[in-house]
Homo-oligomer: A and B are copies of this chain.
Amino acid sequence: MSSKKIVLSPELPAPLLVVGSVAYDSIITPYSQRERCLGGSASYASLAASHYTTPRLVGVVGADFNPDYIALFKKCDICLEGLKHDKSGPTFYWKGEYSEDWNSRKTLEIQLNVFEKFQPELPVFYRNTPYVMLGNISPELQHSVCDQLQGDPFIIADTIDLWIDIQRDALLKLLKRVHCILINDSEAAQLTQEKNVIRAGYKLLKEGLPMAIIKKGEHGAYLFHPKGIFALPAYPVTNVQDPTGAGDSFAGAFLGYLAAMKKTDFNHVKQAMIYATATASMTVEALSCDRICSAEASEIEKRAEELKTMVSL
């Protein structure tokens, strides 16, 4: 898969741990729909990260999980030692529908299935992975992953409105254990109780986070860092087909870039956001994981360069 892997440094990239959901999604968009296709935060994040390094996946699938998807993960250089096969039930299932203007989506159905009893267990050789993405799972489970980690890994966490609602304390405690939270603007407002996105970002830093990224979808993303704010627009996509997984792809590529560079300073984090934006822009151009899988290294690099040009004075 050498043409899919972006080579950023003469050194080998560091590995990357991705914890989250692996799911069947049924997606209805204004233009098309698809039943039971590959989805889940860990799927999108590892596929995006696989363009930069070797992701180590931690998740669970059920008895009905399509072996073609296993083959797909393997073909994309994703380590599946941490993917549990729970034969006691079916795979996590989500069905959603996007509005005409893409600005909202309705969840039509959720079946937690084997994901309900999921307890992330890290294979021994995963435990000292130096870059860790805690994808969208409950803050309690995100804590349990942190408990199993060794060394001093760089950890980023994602979350959703549900956990802010029902596990707020666990989430606030988690912010003290991770290096960066990636969160969208409405979730940032909900978590910090601050509607102004700039004040919300500064409040996240005050919670003890070394940095925070607030994502605004088609309007780009803000990085809040002790060295300053960095604002980046989205890549100008003209052909959105399915926004599902854009945020997970952003997170996976973001951390994948840092793992490939083995640096997490302000300047590298800004560069990582460029690559994350370029990578996520591929995801939304097709249903499910189709485009994030098929993306060539050269395509992502071209978009990263275009984005740099687009913001340069």
A residues in contact (CB < 8 Å) with B: 101, 195-199, 216, 218-220, 222, 228-233, 236-238, 240, 267, 270-271, 274, 308-313
Residue A195 contacts which of B101, B216, B220 (CB distance < 8 angstroms)? Answer: B101
User: What is the CA–CA distance of A198 and B307 in the complex, to the nearest angstrom?
Assistant: 14
Q: Which residue of B lies closest to A231 (CB)?
A: B233
Chain B contacts of A218 at CB under 8 A? 197
User: What is the CA–CA distance of A237 and B238 in the complex, to the nearest angstrom?
Assistant: 29
Residue A236 contacts which of B219, B229, B232, B238 (CB distance < 8 angstroms)? Answer: B229
B270 touches A240 (CB 8 A): no
Which 9 A-B pairs have CB atoms at the shortest separation, nearest pair first? Answer: A231-B233, A219-B219, A198-B236, A198-B238, A199-B238, A231-B310, A229-B310, A311-B311, A196-B238
Chain B contacts of A197 at CB under 8 A? 218
A240 touches B274 (CB 8 A): no
User: What is the CA–CA distance of A89 and B197 in the complex, to the nearest angstrom?
Assistant: 44
B309 touches A228 (CB 8 A): yes
User: What is the CA–CA distance of A7 and B219 in the complex, to the nearest angstrom?
Assistant: 33
Q: Which residue of B lies closest to A200 (CB)?
A: B238
User: What is the CA–CA distance of A196 and B238 in the complex, to the nearest angstrom?
Assistant: 6
B228 touches A313 (CB 8 A): no
Chain B contacts of A222 at CB under 8 A? 233, 236
Q: Which residue of B lies closest to A217 (CB)?
A: B219
User: What is the CA–CA distance of A278 and B218 in the complex, to the nearest angstrom?
Assistant: 22
Residue A310 contacts which of B195, B230, B309 (CB distance < 8 angstroms)? Answer: B230
Q: How far is the CB of A275 from chain B (nearest CB, A)?
A: 12
User: What is the CA–CA distance of A274 and B232 in the complex, to the nearest angstrom?
Assistant: 14
- Known A-B contacts A195-B101, A199-B238, A219-B219; the reply to A231 vs B311 at CB < 8 A is yes
- Known A-B contacts A101-B195, A196-B240, A220-B233; the reply to A271 vs B228 at CB < 8 A is no
B236 touches A233 (CB 8 A): no
Q: How far is the CB of A11 from chain B (nearest CB, A)?
A: 22
Question: Most B CB atoms within 10 A — which of A197, A216, A230, A311?
Answer: A311
Question: Most B CB atoms within 10 A — which of A222, A267, A310?
Answer: A310
Q: Which residue of B lies closest to A237 (CB)?
A: B198
Q: List 27 A-B contacts (CB under 8 A).
A: A101-B195, A196-B237, A196-B238, A197-B218, A198-B236, A198-B237, A198-B238, A199-B238, A216-B219, A219-B220, A220-B220, A220-B231, A222-B233, A222-B236, A228-B310, A229-B236, A230-B310, A231-B233, A231-B236, A231-B310, A267-B313, A270-B313, A271-B313, A274-B313, A311-B311, A311-B313, A312-B313
User: What is the CA–CA distance of A99 and B270 in the complex, to the nearest angstrom?
Assistant: 34
Q: Which residue of B lies closest to A309 (CB)?
A: B228
User: What is the CA–CA distance of A187 and B28 in the complex, to the nearest angstrom?
Assistant: 28
